[in-house]
Amino acid sequence: MTTPIIRIEGLGKLYKIGEQQRARKGPTFGETLVTAFTRPFGKGSGHNASKEFWALRNVSFDVAEGEVVGVIGRNGAGKSTLFKILSRITDPTEGSAQLNGRVASLLEVGTGFHPELTGRENIFLNGAILGMTRAEIRKKLDEIVAFSEVEKFLDTPVKRYSSGMYVRLAFSVAAHLEPEILIVDEVLAVGDAAFQAKCLGKMRGISETDGRTVMFVSHNLASIRQLCQRVCLLDKGEITVIGAPDEAIGRYLSDAVVGKKVSVADWDDRETTGDARIVEIELQPGDVGEIAVIKMGQPLRIKMEVEIPEPLSDPNFGMLVYDSSGTPLLDLRSLHQILLVGRVTGRIAVQLEVAQLGLYPGHYFLSPWISDTGNRRNLDFPKMCVAFDVSPSGSDVDAQLDRDWGAYFVPSTWSVV
């Protein structure tokens, strides 16, 4: 029997919410002094003002050498906490993790990059931060530079780089680490598609060719499916599923709310600035039932209700539609038609209409979003919060169609010539 390279047993991390918030605002020494006087016997009194919560609880699993394990879950599910413990950044509150090999972790692309330093200087600095020695970096410098495609700007300060160049350079340094265990947190979400594909290839090489162990978090379910042999789904700090990628991903997606009229005001997994909040999504398909089922080729109306606390002028709206593996299929935006809503505040509703929904029968997800004037940044973006099914059109010919055959129904004309 071989020893697993990572053995995690009953791992848990407790945070005190109050403590963190106070630390962020700048706690005062005076407060502590006051506490020391009013409660001289410490926490024994039981009046603990700060709330406690388990960011991670009872997490146990083994990882074999050379395995690629993906970790998925909504925001706040504990993925980052797990990785922070495995990277030694923070101590667990209970349980243990045994790591039998040299660990390198990449929780952020370009940690420690300094804008005033040149690309070359940053390679050395970032390499040292990630645990490489100068000799190692010097040996791999050419490879790193070639991978990053920024040769020409190597002696330019990185503050003059485009964001794409910056990310490419940063990922290239990390990609050339040679640890036995590599821990990667959601870093593939950056860069252009071609570079992302290159990074995925590199990650695959790390495990397949070099036999190293990789654990990684991603919201990109397609890359999780491609890369991982096993996937761990976390929810509220605990493991829901650990097993085959399809099983875990299927379970993750099945959590989305299915229904005709869905409240998404409390959906956790969202990017938001607080300037707007999408509160409700209503699907108005041809046939009406409790679960939104849309027939292939039928019209679909989606109504989005948004709460806007402070007046906004001309926001933009959109919907992303994903298939059940998380691959985006449709990108519907109000920008394509220049919808001028003027200056709005309070609760407003917009509606989008698709004349013919051409998706093949299957299970689909929606991410609605609202962005500011000029579409510079998202104001609210609840991710994959609504699910719906597309059913065959009803004709016998279409009964056997599903997502395995194709993605879109496009009317076509056939004739003998």
Partner 1 sequence: MTKPDSLRLEPGAKRRHYWRDLWRYRELFYMLAWRDISVRYRQTAVGVAWAVLQPLATMIVMTVVFGKVAGLSKASGPPYALLVIAGMLPWQFFSSAFAGASQSLVTNAGLISKVYFPRMIIPAGAVATSFVDLLIAFTILLAMLIWFQFVPNWHIVVLPLFMALSFGAAMGFGLLVAALNVKFRDFRYVVPFIVQFGVYISPIGYSSELIRSRLGDTLYYVYCLNPIVGIIDGFRWAILGTPLDVFALLIACASVAVAILVGVWYFRRTETGFADII
Residues that bind partner 1 (CB under 8 A): 3, 15, 19-20, 23, 26-30, 32, 84-103, 105, 107-108, 111-112, 114, 116-117, 121, 124-125, 128-130, 133-134, 157, 180
CB of 115 to partner 1, least distance (A): 9
CB of 379 to partner 1, least distance (A): 26
Q: Rank residues 5 and 77 by Cβ distance to partner 1 and give the closer one.
A: 5
Query: Per the structure block, which two tokens stand in for 180?
Result: 């036995």
Q: Rank residues 39 and 134 by Cβ distance to partner 1 and give the closer one.
A: 134
Q: Rank residues 100 and 393 by Cβ distance to partner 1 and give the closer one.
A: 100
CB of 180 to partner 1, least distance (A): 7
Q: Rank residues 5 and 300 by Cβ distance to partner 1 and give the closer one.
A: 5
CB of 108 to partner 1, least distance (A): 5
CB of 127 to partner 1, least distance (A): 8
CB of 117 to partner 1, least distance (A): 7
Are 62 and 6 a contacting pair, CB within 8 Å? yes
Q: Rank residues 130 and 379 by Cβ distance to partner 1 and give the closer one.
A: 130
Q: Rank residues 186 and 380 by Cβ distance to partner 1 and give the closer one.
A: 186
CB of 12 to partner 1, least distance (A): 9
